[in-house]
Amino acid sequence: MKKTYSVLFVCLGNTCRSPLAEVILKSELKRAGIKRVGIKRAGSRKVNVSSAGTGAFEGGRASSGSTITARRMGVSLGRFRSKPLTQLRVRRADLILTMTGSQKREIVARWPEELDKTFTLSEYSGTGDGDIRDPVGGPLSAYYRCGDRLHTEIKRIIPRLRKATRPSKRKP
């Protein structure tokens, strides 16, 4: 069994939604007592959380709206830098969560063998509420709505992640 469980959030530019999802999940994992990479506790696999964009450039900063929204939520995007979605990132992920159905379809079209681990966030959370709208270019209130929606969806996936990161019990 791998020592880490890797979650990859994907959006288009990797400057608004997926970076927010990344830092929100890290915060929620800590709150739930699920260890992240770098935090040592016995009993379950470490969780690595990252994000990338289907149309992202390497090294860009998070949008100011997302940075302000993150700060409002008690998390930080100050050190965040954007990353493009690559074959290596896709292959290393145990779970890929996209912001839209079209992003999921794009990943599955490029890497059909990764279908079983690729979901929209709302699909994986069980809400089925569809796409998470991109706030880019909108007012700060659009970023706040996006952050609130991400937070709601992410809180719903914590039980599934807890189960996925538990070591499997071997039968004697």
pLDDT tens per residue across span 97-156: 999 999 999 999 999 999 999 999 999 999 988 999 999 999 999 999 999 999 999 999
List the catalytic residues.
11, 17, 134
* 15: Cβ contacts below 8 Å, ≥ 6 apart: 53, 56, 60, 61, 62, 63, 66, 82, 136
**Domain chopping of the chain, boundaries:** 4-164
Confidence of residue 67 (pLDDT cuts 50, 70, 90): very high
C-beta of residue 117 within 8 angstroms of C-beta of residue 96: yes
The tokens describing 16, both together, are 């608004």
* pTM, 2 dp: 0.92
Please check whether the domain covering 4-164 is classified as CATH 3.40.50.720.
no
Element (H, E) at 83: none
